[in-house]
Structure 1
Amino acid sequence: MDKNTMNYYEENADILVEHYESADVNNVQNLLLKTFDINSKLLEIGCGSGRDVLFMIENNYNVIAIDGSKNMIEEAKKIHSELKERLFHRILPNDLEFDNKFDGIYSISTLMHLSKDDLKKTLSKIYSLLNQNGKFLMSVSLFRDDIDKDGFDDKGRFFLLLSLEEWIKICEEVGFRIVETKRNKDGLDRNGIEWLTMVVEK
């Protein structure tokens, strides 16, 4: 992941955790419940405040989660102490290694911070970590009006903006079958930002 992007999350973890906890994510969380069978073994990539890990555990899923920001992991553990043994610091794409496989994997608002090369590597690793017929759900920026021509916003964060067709193509090249695609408004009510939620299957 881009160094400036990671620094932003490291330096602002406490503020960002508050934002994430207040975001309206009912649509995405309902889709998580719809996508994965109860009691499934799941991995969350880019857990932020731990909001969605806790939600899934409370709904009878077995979840562990990772985030590239050490400070974000620490802040998440502070506000959700019950998650202390379930949150781990891992940086994409190189640290995405586990000894076991998962029934499902999901990633909310994370993968669009990767370069196209790192995105392809990460999606390939996700594919290999899934059990046969396992599903992967991701939510990524589809459109933003707050970034420059090189993909950076005024906070120094990098965003990879791809069309729906490009996201589909990359997933299919890895080997995934597309199950569902959905466009979403921004959960923090920011105008000029549109999201894509996609479910794919191994």
Structure 2
Amino acid sequence: MDKNTINYYEENAGILAEHYELANVINVQNLLLKTFDINSKLLEIGCGSGRDALFMIENNYNVIAIDGSKNMIEEAKKIHPELRERLFHRILPNGLEFDNKFDGIYSISTLMHLSKDNLKKTLSKIYTLLNQNGKLLMSISLFRDDIDKEGIDNKGRFFLLLSFEEWIKICEEVGFRIVETKINKDGLNRIGIEWLTLVVEK
């Protein structure tokens, strides 16, 4: 993942964690419950404040979670100390090395920070980490009016903006079958940002 992007999250972990805890994500969380069977072994990629990991654990899922920012991991442990043994610092695409496989993997607002090449590498690793018929749910920005032509916003973060069709194509090239697609508004009520949630299956 781009160093400037990670640095932004490292330097602003405290305030960002507060924002994430307040975001309206009920639609995505309901889709998480719908997508994965209860008691499934899940991996969250880009856990931020730990909000969604805790939500899933409270709903009887077995979750471990990773984030590319060490400081964000520490904030998540402070906000949700019950997650302390379940949170790990890993940077994509090379941080997806696990000895075991998962029934499901989900990633909210993270994978769009990867370059196209690193996205393909990451999705391929996710595919191998899933059990047969395992599912991936990912939410990525489909449209943003706050980035330049290089995909950089005023905070220095990189965003990969692909069309709906390009996201579908990359997933299918890796070997995934498309299960569900949803386009939704921003959970922090930011005008000019639109999200795509994809559910795909191995």
**TM tier, smaller:** over 0.9
TM-score between the two structures when normalised by the length of structure 1: 1.00
Deviations 1:117-150 (A, max 9, x none): 0000000000000000000000000000000010
Corresponding position of 1:127: 127
Task: Give the TM-score, by structure 2 length.
Answer: 1.00
Query: What letter matches 1:194 in structure 2?
Result: E
- Asked if 1:19 corresponds to 2:55, the answer is no
Aligned partner of 2:187 in structure 1 is 187
Whole-Å separation in 2 of the counterparts to 1:83 and 1:95: 19
Q: Between Structure 1 and Structure 2, how many residues are aligned?
A: 202
Please tell me the residue identity of whatever aligns with 2:105. I
Structure 2 unaligned blocks of 5 or more: none
What's the secondary structure of 2:198's corresponding residue?
strand
Q: Secondary structure at the match of 2:85?
A: coil
Match of 1:157 in 2: 157
Structure 1 gaps of 5+ residues are none
State the one-letter code of the partner of 2:154: D
Matched with 2:89 is 89
Q: Share of identical aligned residues, percent?
A: 89
String of CA shifts for 1:37-65, please: whole Å, max 9, x gaps: 00000000000000000000000000000
CA distance in 1, matches of 2:198, 2:94: 23
3-state SS of 2:32 partner: helix
Indicate the residue corresponding to 1:197 in structure 2.
Answer: 197
Counterpart residue identity of residue 158, structure 2: F
Equivalence for 1:111? 111
Residue 95 (structure 1) shift: 1.2
TM-align CA RMSD: 0.3
Structure-1 separation of matches of 2:72 and 2:3: 15
What is the alpha-carbon distance in structure 2 between the residues aligned to residue 164 and residue 43 of structure 1? 24
